[in-house]
Amino acid sequence: MNLSSTNTSFTIPSGEVLCPPGSTGNGSCMCDWRVQIRGCPSESAYIENLYLVNTLACFIVFIMITGLLIWRMAVKGQGLISKDPLKEMGILRPKPLECFLLLNIFHVASRLLYSVCLISDFISSTTLKEVLHDITFTISLASLAIYLIGLIYTIPRTHIAAQRAVTMSSEDRPSIWVLRPQMIDAFAFILFISLLVLNAFALISGYFIDKNNIKMAETWITIHYLGWSFFCWIIIFGILYFGKRLINIIEKHIQDTKGYGKVPSSKLRNLEHGLTKLRRIRVLLLGDLIFFAVASLVFGLCRNFILTYSPVLSLFLATCWVLIVPLTNAVIITILAYEINEKARMPTLRPKTTTTFNQSRSNDYSTAHSNMPPNYPSKPVRNNQKDHKGITINLELKVSDSKALEREQDFIDSVSQESSDSIELVVNPKHHQPSS
C-alpha cells in the first residue's frame, strides 16, 4: 500500500498520525516529522521540501568537511591520535578537531542517506526509521564527546608547556587539577555505552509504533529524549568547564609570552589566532548542544501537544532539528577556511643569519636567563603528584644546568611551532628534530 495515499481516517500501515480530538479526517492532523513525510495531511509538502534542502546542504557540507580533513592530514601532517611523549594519556587520546571532523563526515553522510530514504519512501518500517534517525545523531553526539575528551587531555599538556616556558618562581606556579587518564577512559566508555542504550530506546519505541501500541511508544519516546537531553547537558558542562580552563591557560601563556621578550611576532599571532578559533568553535558547539538538550527535553515531555495542537511550533522545531547540524558544520568550516586563507597571506618570517644551531640555542638561553627575576630558585626538577582524583602538577627547574635548560628551550620552541596547526593543541609538547 502506498503511504502517500490517504483515506477518510488517514490510516497508515506504518507510522503515526496525530489528530486533535474530534478532528479525525480533516486537514489538522499531523505526523512525527522525524520519521515520516508521506501521509501527513497538513505539512507533508513543507516537510518534504525541508528534507530536500537538508539533502543538498548535507552533500555540500560533506564535500567541504572531507576536503578540510584531507588538507589537515595530508598537507599539515595532523593525525587522528595524539602522541603521548609525557606519558600522561590513557587508551583513548583523540586529536579533538581531526576526530570531530571525521565523525561529522559520517554524520553528514548518514543524514544525507536518511533524507533520501524518507523522500523516496524507501523504508516502510517505523522501527528501522527510528533507529536510523537516532544513529545519525548519535554519531554527531559522539563527535562532540570525542572533542571534549581531546580538550580535557589538552589542558595538562598546555599547562606544563606554559609553566616551563614562562613561570619563574614557585609562588607564581599555580596547581591545576586535571582528570586522571583512567577516569577519562572510564568516562568515554560509559558515554559510548550510553549512546548505544539510546539507540535501543529508539528501536523499542519504533517497535511499539509498528505494533500500533501508541501508549507504550509514547512512553519510550519520552524516556528516549529525556536521556538525550541528559547526555547533551553532560557534554555541555564538560565543554564549558574544560574549555574555559584551557582558554584561561592560553590567555595567561600569551600574556607571559609578550612579556618574556624576543618572541617572534608570527609565533604570537599564531597563538592569538588559535585562541580566537577555539573561542568561536566552542561557542558554536555549545549553541548546537544547548539547542538539542532543550529541544530533546521539550519534545520528550510535550511531543503530543507540539505535534497535535501547535503546527507553527512543530514546523519551527522541525526546521531547526533537521538543518542545525549541517549549518553549524558549514560555519565551522568557514571559520577554519578563513584562518587558512589568513595564514596563506601572512609573510613567513625567517631570520637571515649564519649562526649555527647550537650558537643560536646558547644565545636564546643567555637572553632567557638575563630576563629571569633575581629570586629565581636554583632547585632541581621536581614533579610532585598528588593522587586525589587527579594530578597536581608542580614543576621546578634547575637553572644551574645549562644543558638541561637548552633541552627545555628546544621543547618550548617545538610547542609553539605546533600551536598554529591545531585548534586543540595551541601549546602542544610535540618533539621535532631540529634542522641545522
3-class DSSP string for 42-66:
CCHHHHHHHHHHHHHHHHHHHHHHH
Looking at residue 89, what is its pLDDT? 67
Domain membership flag for residue 423: no
Whether pLDDT at 117 is above 80: yes
Structural domain containing residue 296: 17-345
Any bridge partners for residue 382, and if so which?
396
Q: How far is CA 163 from CA 143, 203, 256, in A?
A: 30, 50, 10
Looking at residue 368, what is its pLDDT? 40
Tell me if 254 sits within 8 A of 275, measured CB to CB.
Answer: yes
Q: How confident is the model at residue 345 (pLDDT cuts 50, 70, 90)?
A: low
User: pLDDT (tens digit, 9 = 90+) per residue, 13-28?
Assistant: 345 666 555 555 555 5
Looking at residue 179, what is its pLDDT? 66
Looking at residue 57, what is its pLDDT? 93
The domain that contains 64 carries what CATH number? Answer: 1.20.1070
Chain-centre distance for alpha carbon 313: 28
Looking at residue 164, what is its pLDDT? 52
Looking at residue 135, what is its pLDDT? 92
| Type of residue numbered 370 | S
User: pLDDT (tens digit, 9 = 90+) per residue, 122-134?
Assistant: 888 888 999 999 9
**SS3 of 373, please?**
coil
Whether pLDDT at 111 is above 90: yes
Q: Which of 95-99, 109-113, 341-345, 381-385 tops mean pLDDT?
A: 109-113
Domain membership flag for residue 383: no
| Lowest-confidence pick of 217-231, 375-389, 419-433 | 419-433
Give the number of domains in the chain: 1
Rounded to the nearest 5 degrees, what angle is found at the Cα of 410, between the Cα atoms of 409 and 416? 90
User: pLDDT (tens digit, 9 = 90+) per residue, 51-106?
Assistant: 999 999 999 999 999 998 898 888 877 777 777 666 666 677 788 888 888 999 99
Domain membership flag for residue 314: yes
Q: How far is CA 367 from CA 260, 261, 406, in A?
A: 10, 9, 12
Looking at residue 330, what is its pLDDT? 87
In terms of pTM, does the model score above 0.75? no
Cell digits for 132? 536510523
Looking at residue 36, what is its pLDDT? 82
Domain membership flag for residue 379: no
Looking at residue 221, what is its pLDDT? 92
Q: Which residue intervals of 261-373 are DSSP H helices?
A: 265-309, 311-345, 357-370
| Type of residue numbered 197 | V
Phi, psi of 94 (to 5 degrees): -75, 150
Report which secondary-structure segment, H or E, holds 189: helix 181-210
* Residue whose cell numbers read 566508555: 189
Any bridge partners for residue 178, and if so which?
391
Looking at residue 168, what is its pLDDT? 43
| Type of residue numbered 215 | K
Domain membership flag for residue 209: yes
Domain membership flag for residue 269: yes
Domain membership flag for residue 422: no
Report which secondary-structure segment, H or E, holds 389: none
Report which secondary-structure segment, H or E, holds 37: none
Contacting residues for 98 by C-beta, under 8 A, at least 6 apart: 69, 72, 73, 78, 79, 80
Domain membership flag for residue 400: no
Q: How confident is the model at residue 141 (pLDDT cuts 50, 70, 90)?
A: confident
Whether pLDDT at 149 is above 50: yes
